[in-house]
Structure 1
């Protein structure tokens, strides 16, 4: 069992909820909790995570090291729930997940990694560190595969960078390749409470926060332009990580979700396997790599 220290950073979560880009499926279900969080209300489900843990499973293979053969292990790293960049009272952050991936990758007794994903996605600023960690594993010649149940939006973005993706069961879902902006306009609430906010921009700063200011006035043009830039990067990474994906299939790059049979047919996943089977699959891949 590996224990990775975490650092709670609720202020970053506040910022992301108020003005962040999100690559998440079914975000409406998160709104009640997000609004309660912004109001400072106590959320019973919130739990501080002082440490993050992941486990290893004995793999039935040996990898030659010098003149000796040593039994290797497969690290299983859970990625559960909404993904944010930093740890918070609600979430384990991508930085902590990435630290766990790197710790496993650099451990001499770990020969392969399985990301055990059950997530509808998360904040757009979380993807870079996950991609970097996954690519580091691959640079070491160690297999890294994704075992998924719900794997949507940003979670799928991360999974698509792995060597393979396997759904857990026939009710699993993957996809939602797309993004959205989340902006909270609380000016009306502040005025109701007696606050008047006066914002003054320098004459030389006419473009500062222009996309946000236009959105408050009902014009989302600049926000959509910025979001489209990042969605294009999402598409590019998925196509690179899943070269056999059928780009012209309906819904693939417009945010649709898919069950395993259709997902496999259009190249979103490699098949259906339980976690135990994925561990065995990763072990076989590691043996062939060596």
Structure 2
């Protein structure tokens, strides 16, 4: 850790509970990152430990600015991935909201135990003087530096009854290790210039001048803190700003928050029910997408998930629907149209119907058994073909040269006209007086 570690260990004024600061540093120190780990892998690992980094969300006319994690200034990327809140990031999100004409109200979603004092007064002052309406909300923790920031909301501060609010105070911690050094036989000699130089060197004790200097520093910051709170939350008395924390319910009684709500959704419902419904719908959609991504590999195995069928199952369903539609359409189609379409399909396939022959030789297939049974000389036969009647051939007109050549070669054309065409031809011949 860079900035936070230095602030916590270099005896600078802090706006966070000492035990929480220590626990945070220990947690960060316990993280072991493989030397060969990629940045993406490292980010996923830290997100699993500390949670995914929160970002600005817009639901016009509202924008939600997250203030979550231990607060610090000019943090490294690693510190941000470890769950810290960089003051610079919050300022950038506020600037973006102020530039957006569609945003009318900024909501600070706070979950933080506090942090360092550097940059906090400036950010709090910026929130107080924002051109947009600002609302603060916490459902968990809003203490020290986080409360200084959240208390400056000009349009209200809402908290849940079980949340933790307050801790208006500042401290600097200097361990006095002089007795421990003496027991080890070590005596520290500090050669310095200036009354206040060398304060807090390990193995030494603070003198009166150094102690007064540090006390004046924390008193000054504490005074600014209380003045900022009372400048917006005028009903808060000094007795409630002596470093103690309150539940959300007690904080409301002390005037440290505007009112109590059961949660963020309830607050949004009271502000704008339409936007609240949109946010809820977006959350449900995000959950469905996350669930679908989590079981995406099952789709390749044709397995469904709780939100619908898999990709392969969907494809089968679509094919089934298409087949049923085509089948229903064919059932309603007239018989002649069906025959025409079937003939057209055969042409499109490039395969002409071939007569089935017993010999199986190409181009010399025998006629169908049904064709063998017909009598070409009987006019009453349904399969009667005048062209095949020997009695009519003598009365026929002379054939062309090509037909005579084909007749001399013994080639005989096979009639493939349909039964309907045969009957029609038969009727036409009768109308011409041909028996």
Q: Could you state the TM-score of these two structures normalised by the residue count of structure 1? A: 0.71
Structure 1 residue 35: Cα displacement: 5.8
Contact 1:175 1:255 in 2 (8 A): yes
2:7 paired residue among 7, 16, 21 = 16
Contact 1:74 1:282 in 2 (8 A): no
Separation (CA, whole Å) in 2 of partners of 1:174 and 1:155: 9
Instruction: Work out whether 1:278 is the aligned partner of 2:267.
Output: yes
More helix by percentage: 2
Please list the CA deviations of residues 176-201 of structure 1 after superposition, one character each: whole Å capped at 9, or x if unmatched.
11111144789999xxxxxx998754
Which blocks of at least 5 consecutive residues in structure 2 are unaligned?
33-44, 181-186, 274-435
Residue 244 of structure 1: SS of its match in structure 2?
coil
Match of residue 143 from structure 1: 133
Separation (CA, whole Å) in 2 of partners of 1:50 and 1:172: 22
Residue 29 of structure 1: SS of its match in structure 2?
helix
- Two-structure CA RMSD over aligned residues (Å): 3.6
Instruction: Work out whether 1:237 is the aligned partner of 2:228.
Output: yes
Residue 267 of structure 1: SS of its match in structure 2?
coil
Separation (CA, whole Å) in 1 of partners of 2:245 and 2:94: 27
Match of residue 75 from structure 2: 87
1:269 paired residue among 257, 274, 283 = 257
Paired residues for 1:49-198 under 5 Å: 53-57=55-59, 72-88=60-76, 89=79, 90=82, 91-137=84-130, 140=131, 142-148=132-138, 149-163=140-154, 164-167=156-159, 169-183=160-174
Contact 1:52 1:96 in 2 (8 A): no
**Greater radius of gyration (CA):** 2
Contact 2:157 2:259 in 1 (8 A): yes
Which blocks of at least 5 consecutive residues in structure 1 are unaligned?
1-9, 58-71, 190-195, 285-290
Task: Give the 3 Å change call, closer, same or farther, for CA 33–170 of structure 1 in structure 2.
Answer: closer
Structure 1 residue 279: Cα displacement: 3.5
Separation (CA, whole Å) in 1 of partners of 2:176 and 2:91: 33
Contact 2:161 2:260 in 1 (8 A): yes
Separation (CA, whole Å) in 2 of partners of 1:227 and 1:165: 26
Structure 1 residue 108: Cα displacement: 1.4
Please list the CA deviations of residues 67-88 of structure 1 after superposition, one character each: whole Å capped at 9, or x if unmatched.
xxxxx42111111121111223
Separation (CA, whole Å) in 1 of partners of 2:175 and 2:46: 21
Q: Could you state the TM-score of these two structures normalised by the residue count of structure 2? A: 0.49
Greater RCO, CA 8 A, separation 6+: 1
Task: Give the 3 Å change call, closer, same or farther, for CA 283–243 of structure 1 in structure 2.
Answer: farther
